[in-house]
């Protein structure tokens, strides 16, 4: 008799992205092979950690070993699949906890997670390896912002967004210097640091991939055509966008984007499924937007679309990610 492994699908978080995290958790619960694994959704919000049972009942998680008690028996997990978009699951904190207790987990380690979560630091770091990205200014809470100086340096329009977080929460497209203060204030509601970036005109694309000890798989590229002024929350989650996979770009450019995606994955020491977003500007110049180390896993998210376009089975890909995570800790 084959004993199924216990997998924790870890969702929740302490930022606005919790709404997306909960959808990703449900998606993963549907996607992961239940013939191989016993699946439990674990919700983490601040100090409240609990496991959700299929009947909706919740039980507390013992933080000493990330276990819970069911009918008098202790249930231990074999692996945690982290799908928190934001703190503490995307910034390295939860990864550090799992490292301390020896729990295998699905995504990047502490350093990679912390670096990629800080958009400004990550992009500046990758520029040192020849990766192109937008000109940007970092603003910390309490710092004065001179709108005219920002416009002189970055031009108009420009984007103002939180330095940490995602799903387009707190993002504004600024078209006049007078709009900068309000946009910065809006972004600060999501965190203590804000990025102001120059606008890049072009085609937005995104490319996912994963690696195990046996293979590296770079997925087909998705082209993102927003019906809104930019790829905001409504475009992402309310269907106000066209997502075209594979992207309508040349074979040569496709190959270059996929090679760059693999290079960035390796430079950062990523693990698990990662998605990297780009803008293709005039002359087929590839400009990095950001690196997502816990990408969305809802049925309409980019990664499931790309896996399907690659002719792969999503359940098999997720099994490979889980088994590789377990083997690394074995």
pLDDT in tens, 10-37: 999 988 788 889 999 999 999 999 999 9
Per-residue pLDDT at 139 exceeds 60: yes
Q: What is the pLDDT of residues 36-45, one digit of tens each?
A: 999 999 999 9
Contacts of 83 (CB under 8 A, 6+ apart): 9, 10, 11, 21, 24, 25, 28, 89, 294, 297
| Backbone angle region of 132, left / alpha / beta, with phi > 0 → left and psi within -120 to 50 → alpha | beta
**Residue whose pair of structure tokens reads 């295998």 in the numeric block:** 104
- pLDDT tens digits for 208-257? 999 999 999 999 999 999 776 654 445 454 556 899 999 999 999 999 99
Q: For tokens 């990408």, what's the residue?
A: 295
Instruction: Report the alpha-carbon distance of residue 50 to residue 174 in Å, rounded.
Output: 41
Q: What is the mean pLDDT of the chain?
A: 93
How far apart are alpha carbons 68 and 70 in whole angstroms? 7
Q: What is residue 100's predicted lDDT score, i.e. its pLDDT?
A: 97
Residue 169 banded pLDDT, cuts 50, 70, 90: confident
Cα distances from 167 to residues 20, 48, 125, 184, 274, in angstroms, run: 8, 24, 22, 17, 15
Cα separation, 314 vs 301, whole angstroms: 12
Cα 221 to chain centroid, rounded: 16
Q: Is the pLDDT of residue 156 over 50?
A: yes
Separation of alpha carbons 293 and 166, rounded Å: 11
The residue written with tokens 């002359």 in the block is: 283
- Residue 217 CA to residue 219 CA, distance in Å, equals 6
Strand partners, 211: 216
Q: Which of the four pLDDT bands, split at 50, 70 and 90, describes residue 116?
A: very high
Look at the block and give the residue holding tokens 């004993």: 3
Mean pLDDT to the nearest integer, 148-165: 92
CA distance 264 to 258: 10
């Amino acid at each position: 008799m084959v004993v199924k492994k216990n997998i924790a699908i870890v969702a929740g978080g302490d930022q606005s992205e919790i709404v997306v995290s909960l959808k990703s958790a449900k998606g993963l619960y549907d996607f992961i092979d239940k013939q191989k694994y016993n699946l439990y959704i674990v919700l983490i919000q601040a100090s409240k950690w609990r496991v959700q049972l299929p009947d909706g009942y919740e039980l507390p998680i013992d933080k000493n070993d990330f276990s819970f008690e069911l009918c008098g028996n202790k249930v231990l997990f074999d692996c945690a699949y982290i799908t928190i978009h934001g703190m503490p699951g995307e910034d390295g904190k939860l990864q550090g906890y799992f490292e301390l207790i020896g729990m295998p987990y699905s995504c990047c380690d502490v350093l990679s997670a912390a670096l990629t979560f800080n958009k400004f630091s990550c992009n500046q770091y990758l520029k040192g390896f020849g990766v192109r990205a937008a000109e940007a200014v970092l603003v910390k809470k309490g710092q004065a912002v001179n709108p005219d100086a920002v416009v002189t340096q970055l031009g108009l329009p420009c984007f103002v967004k939180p330095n940490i977080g995602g799903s387009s929460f707190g993002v504004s497209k600024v078209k006049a210097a007078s709009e900068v203060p309000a946009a910065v204030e809006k972004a600060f509601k999501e965190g203590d640091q804000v990025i102001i970036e120059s606008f890049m005109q072009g085609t937005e694309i995104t490319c996912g991939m994963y690696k195990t000890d046996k293979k590296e798989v770079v997925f087909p590229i998705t082209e993102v055509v927003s019906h809104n002024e930019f790829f905001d929350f409504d475009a992402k989650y309310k269907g106000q966008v066209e997502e075209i996979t594979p992207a309508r770009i040349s074979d040569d450019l496709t190959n270059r984007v996929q090679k760059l995606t693999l290079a960035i994955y390796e430079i950062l020491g990523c693990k698990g499924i990662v998605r990297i977003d780009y803008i293709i500007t005039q002359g087929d110049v590839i400009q990095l937007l950001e690196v997502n180390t816990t990408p969305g896993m809802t049925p309409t998210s980019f990664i499931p679309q790309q896996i399907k376009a690659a002719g792969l089975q999503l359940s098999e890909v997720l099994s490979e990610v889980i088994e590789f995570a377990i083997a690394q800790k074995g």
